[in-house]
């Protein structure tokens, strides 16, 4: 038998298995999942062993040059998943595979430290004359495995006392793997679960029933209004899975993976939880992977890429806020964690729970009208609390009546009332910075990023910043175009809201939560904890305040401008707006005093706004589905997007035209939109054009896209242009 190897060159042309001989020195050590070094052409490259089979012409085979790790790096489920991803998302298999195992590749090996153990003496040594040694002895009995330093510290003695005991043979020293526990600094308080309410019990028991059934995958959509206690349903389901010897995955959007969320999980499951998030160091992530691989941890809590965590026996996969766009990875491999989760559950025969107060249309339509998912509903808030009442404020009227400020009179009054009653307020604006448009009043010049076709945002630091590439420059006092002094700062961000609030309510205590204030590790936790403890009256923020916050003192949520997301050039703009408004409104009235929401908008008649006002998910669903059907958009059709980028606009346009012709030539039933410049026409000095393919079946779409890509790599004409393919795109920008 010969080893089948995928070489780690992320090129479509070499995305197939190559056979290699396993030399006798490596026989038995090279297994499926091994990372090896193999000769390829004139060099040696890394590769992954994916199977064994007899090669067609064994005489020409080369030897595997080296084995790079002790054990295998991926499981059979992961390999199957990578192969499926390659076929589905049209990416090289190794790229998918590396997305799964990269945490294992970052670190050379586990960091080892010397740990100390009590020597196996036949009787307890006599320490009556040596109180220091006695202290050390007592500590090491209780906590074997401590390092020399840790032990000395814990016993309150000099490390030399420990050395002396090692020399006398009372302690023995051995190597152990040092574990970098990312949660070390967090308190691990065990929290007792509350008694479930009726709708929660029904949901949990349905999930448990499915866990107990043998056989294939089952999918639940948990549609629960904000504050209905979905998290508690997840926690009970996970406990049930663990009790049945199964492992569980809990995915949340990165933005919701807050210290508070981690506390809840650690409070319930302790060391059984492995946490994966983007702020971990490589070493910490490696350690969490190891704890999952060895089975020490049975639950993984993480963002999008945690779907690739190495579980032997995934029995339950949960996606909270399943509608969140951040589940889609916007670089290759451009996968959607929900799609991958459904596939993985198919291999593993696992139960999937998709949860949201505002499910995606894609998921909801599978859960109603004979679809493949089971619908579970939580229709009421915990403790019979009512949903908050929502008022719309028409900003057009406000302007007519002479108010040019950020805050309508209604919103100002509502804030003042909360302050006088010592209740709390959340203000939401989905834009950070101070002003989002800097423009010359004389010549009309808009200050843009020199690398992107994006207007620069002014920050209170006095700098202009590009929110796409992070370019920054000192704000000029004169217009760089005409030298005029009349440079206007228009469009507002959270910093301006903060400044205005401080001006209008000088005694209010104000906090701001956006990516500019949470840069430092631990800052997010401090801000939210401080607000929760009542140390501030008003919390201003972007999306970060819209998700998951459960703060009973909040009785008013103000949306500064609902229209920002409504008129984006994207067919999901209404859906996104409805979701955002519903989610942020849901932060109000989670305590005894009830709550209110004020939404400021120039479009008070738009159904995305009125349905959010009326907590009317079904109404929104019907309106939006009718529209999607008419326009032929998902979930009624399938989309793929080919994005063409390069430094020369002409080349980019020509390449896009070439791709369009290749799609036509493929002769399959797809509709082609474009080629056209993408809404973001230039980012980081690269021009961007796109083509959108639409079809009634996923397979046809891939066929057309493959034909176009093959044609493109065949010509060799546009070497400086890059094409990327996005199957089921979430962003059309
Ligand atoms: N059965 C219960 N009894 C008492 N309190 C509960 C119960 N279930 C949940 N809770 C509490 O109710 C609050 C709201 O629950 P949770 O945050 O899970 O709601 P949610 O459905 O996830 O809402 P959202 O979608 O707005 O995030 C939490 O403080 C939670 O601890
Ligand atoms: Zn000017
Ligand atoms: Zn830029």
Residue 465: nearest ligand to its CA?
3
Q: How far is the CA of 449 from the centre of ligand 3 (A)?
A: 5
Q: How confident is the model at residue 496 (pLDDT cuts 50, 70, 90)?
A: very high
Judged against a pLDDT cut of 70, whether residue 648 lies above it is answered with yes
Q: Which atom of ligand 1 is nearest to the CA of 197?
A: 1
**Which residue has a Cα nearest atom 10 of ligand 1?**
229
Strands (E), 385-456: 389-394, 424-428, 435-440
CA of residue 486 to ligand 2 center, whole Å: 8
Q: pTM of the prediction? A: 0.86
Q: Is 468 exposed, middle or buried (0-12, 13-18, 19+ CB in 10 A)?
A: middle
Residue 129 has pLDDT above 90, yes or no: no
**Is residue 319 over pLDDT 50?**
yes
The whole-number pLDDT of residue 10 equals 72
- pLDDT tens across 687-706, in order? 999 999 999 999 999 999 99
Q: What is the pLDDT of residue 176?
A: 62
Average pLDDT of the chain? Answer: 90
Instruction: Give the 3-state secondary structure of residue 617.
Output: helix
Checking if the pLDDT of 145 tops 80, the result is no
Q: For strand 299-302 and strand 247-251, is the pairing parallel, antiparallel, or unpaired?
A: parallel
Q: How far is CA 718 from CA 13, 638, 642, in A?
A: 17, 28, 15
- In the predicted structure, residue 316 carries a pLDDT above the cut 90: yes
Q: Mean of the pLDDT values across residues 327-336?
A: 93
| Residues in the ligand 1 pocket, defined by CB under 6 Å | 194-197, 200, 224, 226-232, 357, 382, 548, 550, 586
* Cα 457 to ligand 3 centre (Å): 11
CA angle 660, 662, 664 (to 5 degrees): 70
Which residue owns the Cα nearest ligand 1 atom 26? Answer: 226
Give the residue, by CA position, lying nearest to ligand 1 atom 15.
Answer: 229
Give the mean model confidence (pLDDT) for residues 305-311: 92
- Which pLDDT score, from 0 to 100, does residue 732 have? 87
Q: Is 121 one of the annotated binding-site residues?
A: no
Q: Whose CA is nearest to atom 16 of ligand 1?
A: 229
Q: What is the pLDDT of residue 189?
A: 61
Task: Return contacts of 277-286, CB within 8 angstroms, 24+ apart.
Answer: 277/302, 277/303, 278/254, 278/303, 279/521, 280/182, 281/180, 282/103, 282/106, 282/107, 283/107, 283/111, 283/180, 284/180, 284/181, 284/182, 285/103, 285/106, 286/103, 286/104, 286/106, 286/107, 286/110
Does the structure show a pLDDT above 70 at 134?
A: yes
Residue 224 has pLDDT above 80, yes or no: yes
Supply the pLDDT for residue 143. 73
Flag whether pLDDT at 182 surpasses 70: no
449 assigned to a ligand binding site: yes
Going by alpha carbons, the residue nearest to atom 11 of ligand 1 is 229
**466 annotated as belonging to a binding site for a ligand:** yes
Q: Confirm whether residue 469 is marked as ligand binding.
A: yes
Average pLDDT over residues 397-421: 94
356 Cα nearest atom in ligand 1: 25
Determine whether the annotation assigns residue 122 to a binding site.
no
Q: Which bound ligand lies closest to the C-alpha atom of 203?
A: 1
Taking the centre of ligand 3 as the mean of its atom positions, its distance from the CA of residue 210, in whole angstroms, is: 49
Closest ligand 1 atom, CA of 230?
21
- Is there a binding annotation on residue 365? no
Burial class (CB in 10 A: 0-12, 13-18, 19+), 483: exposed
CA 544/CA 529 separation, integer angstroms: 14
% of the chain at pLDDT higher than 70: 96
pLDDT of residue 646: 95
**Stretch 349-363: mean pLDDT, rounded?**
97
Ligand number with the minimum distance to the CA of 464: 3
What is the distance between the alpha carbons of residues 524 and 351, in angstroms, rounded to a whole number? 33
How far is ligand 2, taken at its centre, from the CA of residue 490, in Å? 15
- DSSP 8-state symbol, 310: -
Give residue 566 CA to ligand 1 midpoint distance, Å. Answer: 29
User: Which residues, in sequence order, are CB contacts of 345 under 8 Å at separation 6+?
Assistant: 217, 219, 314, 317, 351, 352
Q: Residue 730, CB half-sphere, CA atoms under 13 Å: how many?
A: 19
Instruction: Specify the residue for token string 């403890």.
Output: 533
Give the residue whose CA is nearest to atom 27 of ligand 1.
548
Q: Which atom of ligand 1 is nearest to the CA of 228?
A: 21
Give me ligand 2 centre to Cα 483, in Å. 6
Is the per-residue pLDDT at 408 higher than 90?
yes
Residue 461 DSSP label: T
Q: How far is the CA of 456 from the centre of ligand 3 (A)?
A: 8
Please list all protein residues whose beta carbon sits less than 5 angstroms from ligand 2, which is an ion: 440, 442-443, 445, 479, 481-482, 484
pLDDT of residue 185: 45
């Amino acid at each position: 038998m010969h080893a089948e190897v995928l070489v780690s060159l992320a090129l479509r042309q070499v995305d197939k298995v190559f056979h290699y001989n396993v030399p006798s020195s490596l026989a038995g050590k090279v297994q499926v999942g091994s990372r090896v070094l193999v000769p390829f052409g004139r060099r040696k490259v890394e590769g992954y062993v994916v199977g064994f089979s007899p090669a067609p012409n064994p005489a020409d085979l080369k030897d595997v040059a080296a084995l790079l790790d002790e054990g295998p790096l991926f499981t059979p489920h992961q390999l199957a998943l990578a192969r499926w991803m390659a076929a589905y998302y049209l990416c090289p298999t190794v790229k998918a595979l590396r997305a799964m195992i990269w945490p294992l590749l970052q670190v050379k090996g586990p960091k080892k430290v010397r740990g100390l153990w009590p020597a196996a003496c036949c009787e307890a040594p006599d320490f009556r004359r040596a109180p220091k040694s006695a202290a050390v002895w007592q500590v090491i009995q209780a906590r074997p495995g401590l390092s020399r330093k840790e032990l000395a510290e814990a016993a309150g003695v000099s490390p030399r006392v420990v050395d002396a005991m090692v020399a006398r043979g009372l302690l023995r020293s051995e190597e152990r793997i040092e574990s970098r526990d990312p949660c070390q600094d967090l308190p691990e308080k065990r929290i007792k679960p509350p008694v479930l309410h009726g709708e929660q019990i029904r949901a949990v028991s349905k999930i448990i029933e499915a866990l107990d059934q043998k056989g294939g995958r089952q999918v639940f959509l948990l549609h629960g209004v904000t504050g209905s206690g979905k998290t508690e349903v997840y926690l009970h389901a996970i406990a049930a899975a663990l009790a049945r010897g199964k492992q569980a995955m809990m995915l949340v959007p990165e933005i919701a993976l807050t210290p508070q969320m981690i506390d809840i999980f650690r409070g319930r499951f302790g060391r059984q939880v492995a946490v994966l998030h983007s702020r971990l160091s490589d070493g910490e992530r490696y350690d969490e992977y190891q704890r999952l691989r060895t089975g020490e941890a049975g639950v993984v809590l993480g963002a999008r890429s945690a779907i690739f965590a190495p579980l032997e026996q995934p029995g339950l996969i949960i996606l909270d806020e399943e509608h969140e766009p951040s589940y889609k990875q916007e670089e290759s491999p451009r996968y959607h964690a929900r799609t991958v989760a459904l596939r993985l559950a198919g291999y593993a025969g696992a139960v999937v729970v998709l949860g949201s107060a505002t499910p995606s249309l894609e998921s909801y339509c599978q859960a109603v009208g004979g679809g493949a998912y089971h619908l579970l509903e939580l229709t009421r808030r915990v403790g019979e609390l009512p949903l908050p009442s929502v008022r719309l404020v028409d900003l057009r009227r406000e302007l007519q009546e002479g108010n040019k400020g950020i805050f309508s009179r209604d919103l100002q009054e509502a804030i003042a009332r909360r302050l006088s009653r010592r209740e709390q307020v959340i203000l939401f604006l989905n834009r950070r910075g101070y002003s989002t448009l800097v423009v010359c009043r004389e010549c009309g010049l808009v200050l843009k990023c020199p690398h992107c076709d994006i207007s620069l945002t002014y920050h209170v630091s006095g700098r202009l910043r590009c929110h796409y590439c992070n370019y920054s420059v000192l704000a000029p006092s004169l217009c760089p175009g005409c030298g005029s002094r009349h440079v206007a700062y228009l469009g507002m961000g959270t910093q301006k809201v903060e400044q205005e609030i401080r001006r209008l309510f000088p005694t209010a205590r104000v906090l701001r939560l956006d990516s500019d204030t949470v840069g430092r590790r631990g800052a997010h936790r401090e801000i939210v904890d401080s607000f929760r403890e009542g140390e501030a009256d008003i919390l201003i923020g972007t999306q970060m305040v819209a998700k998951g916050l459960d703060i009973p003192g909040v009785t008013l949520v103000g949306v500064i401008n609902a229209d920002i997301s409504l008129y984006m050039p994207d067919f999901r703009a209404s859906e996104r707006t409805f979701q955002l408004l519903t989610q942020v409104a849901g932060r109000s009235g989670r305590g005894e005093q009830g709550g209110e929401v004020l939404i400021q908008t120039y479009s008070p008649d738009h159904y995305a706004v009125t349905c959010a006002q009326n907590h009317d998910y079904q109404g929104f669903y019907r309106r939006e589905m009718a529209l999607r059907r008419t326009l032929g958009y998902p979930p009624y059709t399938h989309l793929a997007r080919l994005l063409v980028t390069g430094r020369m606009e002409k080349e980019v346009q020509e390449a896009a035209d070439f791709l369009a012709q290749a799609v036509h030539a493929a002769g399959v039933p797809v509709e082609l939109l474009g080629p056209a410049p993408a809404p973001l026409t230039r980012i980081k000095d690269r021009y961007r054009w796109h083509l959108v393919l639409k079809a009634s079946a996923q397979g046809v779409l891939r066929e057309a896209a493959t034909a176009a890509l093959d044609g493109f790599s065949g010509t060799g004409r546009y070497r400086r242009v890059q094409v990327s393919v996005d199957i089921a795109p979430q962003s059309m920008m």
